[in-house]
Amino acid sequence: MKQPRSTPRSAPSSIVITGASSGIGEALALLYAAPGVALALTGRDSARLEAVAQRCRTAGSRVDTAVIDVADRAAMAEWLARVDAADPVDLLIANAGMSAGTGDGGETEEQARRILAVNIDGVLNSIHPLLPAMRARRHGQIALMASLAGFRGLPGAPAYCASKAMVRVYGESLRGDLAGEGIGVSVICPGFVKSRMTAVNRFPMPFLMETDAAARLIRRGLERNAARIAFPWPMMAAVWLLALLPPSWTDGPLRRAPRKA
C-alpha cells in the first residue's frame, strides 16, 4: 500500500550522513547524536570530521567515519556495505555537495564537471548501495539535499543550479517509486544557510539562517516523512514565483544579480 504523504517515521537508530564535517551535515550529526544511535559520517577533511565524530561520541553515539570523495563509486559502495552490515541503516542523508559560480570570470568545463560529479554522482553513490538492503527489509528513509536554487536556473551558478534541480526531481520521483516498499524519501531544499559554502559569498544573502535552526527544521520534516522540506518560506515563495514567471520577464533582472565566486 502506498504510504500517506506525511506518515510519521520511527526514530532512526542507524544513520548515514555524507558531508558531515561542516555546515548542515555537521549540525545534523550533532542533532541526531544520542545513546543508542549509530552514526556513519563522511567528509573530505579528516581533522574536521574527527572533531565532529568526537562530539557525537561524547553525546553517546557510536560513530564510524570515512574520508571518502562521494564521487568515488567503488569506495562509497564498499564503505556503505560495511556500515549496513554492522548496523542496518534506517536513515541516509545524502548531504555532501559543492558549490561554485561564475563570479571569478566564468564557469570552466572542469568546474562544471566537478560540481556535477559531486552533487549528482555523489548522491547516486550514496543511495544505490543501500537500496537493495532497504528494499529487502521493507524499511528505511532517504533524504536528498537539493536547494531552492534547483527551481530556476541562475546565471551566476549554472552547474550548481542544474545539479540541485536534478537531485530535487530525482528525489521526488524516487519517493513515488519506493512508497509501496516501506521506504520514505524526502527532498531538502534550503535557502541560504550559514556554512563554509556560503561564507565565501560576496553578496547579500536574504533570510540567511543559522545552521542549527536549519538542522532542526530538517529533522522535524524527516520525522513527518515530508515530501519536500523547503525553507525559509519567504525565500521559497520568491523562488517559486521566479520559476513560474516567463523567462522573458526574469532573464534581465537575473543577469544583473551578483555572481557567486
Phi-psi region of 63 (alpha: psi -120 to 50; beta: other; left: phi over 0): beta
Is 3 a domain residue?
no
How many domains, the chain?
Answer: 1
Handedness of CA 165, 192, 11, 6 (dihedral sign): negative
Domain that holds residue 226: 14-256
Catalytic residue among 32, 160, 170, 231: 160
CATH of the domain at 79: 3.40.50.720
CB atoms within 10 A of CB 7: 11
pLDDT of residue 206: 67
pLDDT tens-place string over residues 54-88 = 999 999 999 999 999 999 999 999 999 999 999 99
Stretches where the chain sits below pLDDT 50 are 1-4
| Annotated catalytic residue 160 | yes
Predicted pLDDT at 156? 79
pLDDT in tens, 199-229: 556 656 666 789 999 999 999 999 999 999 9
| Residues in Cβ contact with 185 at an 8 Å cutoff, skipping those fewer than 6 apart | 141, 142, 143, 144, 171, 174, 175, 178, 179, 227
Distance separating alpha carbons of residues 145 and 127, to the nearest angstrom: 12
Residue ranges of alpha helices (H) inside 16-108 are: 23-32, 46-58, 73-86
State the pLDDT at residue 3: 46
- With vertex at residue 161, the alpha carbon angle to CA 205 and CA 200, rounded to the nearest 5 degrees, is 40
Of 120, 136, 219, the closest CA to residue 170 belongs to 120
- What global pTM score does this model have? 0.88
Is 4 inside a domain boundary? no
Residue 6 lies in a domain: no
Residue-level pLDDT at 203:
55
Give a yes or no: residue 123 inside a domain: yes
What cell was used for 63?
A: 560513530
Three-state DSSP class for residue 52:
helix
Residue 37 resides in a domain: yes
* Domain assignment of residue 181, yes or no: yes
261 lies in some domain? no
Query: Who's near 98: CB < 8 A, 6+ residues apart?
Result: 114, 115, 118, 119, 197
Is residue 8 in a domain?
no
* Calpha distance 191→73 (Å, rounded): 28
Say what the pLDDT of residue 207 is. 64
